[in-house]
């Protein structure tokens, strides 16, 4: 497994080195030439296209950094004007040039084509030394030396079979180093990009304020929607049954002396209505804040939730304490929505839920063996979960290739208070 991971990291590094060097040089040249042509008017039309292409390329690198090495590089760009015509083109060009992120992108292109290229090539070179050493040891050194070649294998001068055998051994050592170093070198490449593409402090604060504003609006909208749901459920469910029961009791009062048998039948029906109304009220309360969540904590609440599902759910809990009530509630309903999606849409036969706390994060990982294809951009379920978690600076990550399996990871920053429950 470690060898496969290292080879995968080396292959990705090689791809980043070769495609990255070419793309970075081309885009850097186009961007600089377009900016230089702005005074003569041509750059007003070419610069926005070139700089937008740079942004797309940088965003692609951000995506690879997160997917391949878990390195997060925030997107710092300001919203661009969309006015049409010549004036709109001038405003677009001005907005791009005034954005500090544009110049950091251009600077990164130059570094990516030089230092980034060298750093990305280290891992694949370590592995490529090994087959070349084997080839030399198998006799290829002889025609090279006979032809007057001055072949060096790293620091070994190839002059005969002995030095060729040493080269093969050194190649094996390099490959072994590559097994341990390749993932770290790939991560170092992305960390180098992060140093240049990461927003400055001022922009980071601006993005933070923007994020808090959006999550506040989402929280208000979510609360309003929840209140409307509760009102609708009360009106259509328990309230309607209680009204009907009141009418039945009035009829019973009128019939109790005239037709006792009919009064008894109506009384039995009223008793059944009262039981159903009580059940609906309990379900409504459970939907607002499950009693088991308040009494026993998130772990037992998720276990109780899993028992009500129509397919096997394995729940593993490693929580040494309890989070605050709002955090537990957000995590519970997020897991509940993910499990509901898995049952309704994934066509899964088994589900696994892992709850644990590490590095200051409450994490819930929900895995199913269904058909995959889950996407936060489609439908409102996962999008609603994402918005609910956003109010707590939480994140929702979905890995769901076609054919499955689906892994949904929920993370909420929080501290746990020591508790016997959980």
DSSP letter (8 states) at residue 116: I
Cα–Cα distance for residue pair 309/303, rounded to 1 Å: 10
Residue 87: which of 99, 98, 95 has the closest Cα?
Answer: 95
From first to last of its 422 residues, what are the pLDDT tens digits of the chain?
Answer: 678 888 888 889 999 998 888 999 999 999 999 999 988 888 888 989 999 999 999 999 988 988 888 888 888 887 777 777 778 778 888 888 888 888 989 999 999 999 999 999 988 888 888 888 888 888 777 787 777 767 777 788 787 888 888 888 888 888 888 888 889 999 999 999 998 888 765 655 665 666 566 556 555 555 556 566 666 666 666 666 677 777 777 777 777 777 777 777 777 777 777 777 676 666 555 555 567 777 788 888 888 888 888 888 888 888 888 888 888 888 888 888 888 888 887 778 888 889 888 878 888 888 888 877 766 555 556 776 777 777 777 878 777 777 778 888 888 888 887 654 43
Sorted by sequence, the CB contacts under 8 Å of residue 82 that are 6+ apart come out as 88
Cα–Cα distance for residue pair 184/123, rounded to 1 Å: 9
DSSP letter (8 states) at residue 38: G
Q: Could you read off the pLDDT of 152-202 as tens digits, one per residue?
A: 777 887 878 888 888 888 888 888 888 888 899 999 999 999 988 887 656
Task: Give whole-number Cα distances, 180 to 3, 175, 191, in Å.
Answer: 9, 9, 18
- Helix (H, G, I), strand (E, B), or coil: what is residue 409? strand
Angle made by CA atoms 163, 181, 15, in degrees to the nearest 5: 95
For 87-123, b where at least 16 C-beta lie within 10 A, e where not — what string?
eebeebbebbeebebbebbbebbebbbeebbebbbbb
Cα–Cα distance for residue pair 151/169, rounded to 1 Å: 16
Cα–Cα distance for residue pair 406/411, rounded to 1 Å: 17
Two structure tokens written together for 274: 């009262």
- 194 near 62, Cβ under 8 Å? no
Task: Give whole-number Cα distances, 236 to 50, 149, 246, 286, in Å.
Answer: 58, 90, 16, 17
Helices (H), 234-347: 239-255, 260-288, 291-296, 298-307, 325-345
């Amino acid at each position: 497994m470690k060898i496969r991971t290292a080879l995968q990291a080396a292959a990705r590094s090689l791809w980043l080195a070769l495609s990255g060097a070419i793309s970075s040089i081309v885009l850097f040249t186009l961007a600089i030439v377009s900016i230089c042509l702005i005074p003569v008017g041509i750059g007003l039309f070419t610069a926005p296209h070139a700089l937008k292409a740079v942004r797309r390329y940088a965003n692609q690198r951000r995506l690879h950094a997160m997917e391949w090495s878990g390195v997060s590089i925030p997107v710092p760009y300001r919203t661009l004007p969309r006015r049409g015509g010549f004036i709109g083109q001038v405003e677009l060009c001005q907005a791009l040039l005034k954005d500090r992120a544009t110049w950091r992108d251009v600077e990164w292109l130059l570094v990516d084509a030089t230092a980034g290229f060298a750093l990305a090539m280290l891992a694949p070179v370590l592995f490529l030394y090994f087959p070349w050493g084997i080839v030399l040891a198998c006799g290829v050194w002889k025609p090279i030396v006979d032809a007057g070649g001055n072949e060096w294998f790293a620091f070994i001068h190839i002059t005969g079979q002995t030095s060729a055998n040493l080269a093969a051994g050194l190649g094996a050592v390099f490959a072994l180093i590559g097994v341990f170093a390749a993932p770290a070198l790939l991560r170092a490449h992305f960390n180098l990009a992060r140093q240049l593409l990461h927003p400055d402090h001022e922009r980071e604060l601006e993005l933070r304020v923007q994020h808090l504003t959006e999550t506040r609006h989402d929280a208000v909208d979510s609360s309003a929607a929840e209140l409307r749901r509760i009102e609708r459920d009360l009106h259509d469910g328990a309230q309607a049954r209680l009204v009907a029961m009141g009418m039945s009791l009035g009829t019973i009062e009128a019939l109790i002396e005239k037709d006792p048998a009919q009064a008894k039948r109506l009384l039995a029906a009223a008793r059944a209505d009262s039981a159903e109304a009580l059940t609906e009220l309990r379900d409504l309360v459970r939907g607002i804040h499950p009693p088991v969540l308040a009494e026993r904590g998130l772990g037992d609440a998720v276990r109780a939730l899993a028992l009500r599902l129509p397919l096997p759910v394995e729940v593993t809990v490693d929580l040494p304490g309890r989070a605050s009530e709002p955090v537990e509630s957000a995590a519970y309903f997020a897991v509940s929505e993910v499990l509901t999606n898995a049952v309704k849409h994934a066509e899964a036969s088994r589900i696994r839920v892992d709850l644990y706390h590490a590095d200051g994060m409450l994490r819930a990982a929900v895995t199913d063996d269904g058909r995959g294809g889950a996407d936060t951009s489609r439908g409102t379920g996962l999008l609603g979960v994402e918005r609910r978690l956003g109010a707590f600076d939480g994140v929702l990550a979905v890995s769901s290739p076609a054919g499955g399996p689906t892994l949904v990871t929920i993370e909420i920053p929080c501290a746990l208070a020591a508790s016997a429950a959980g």
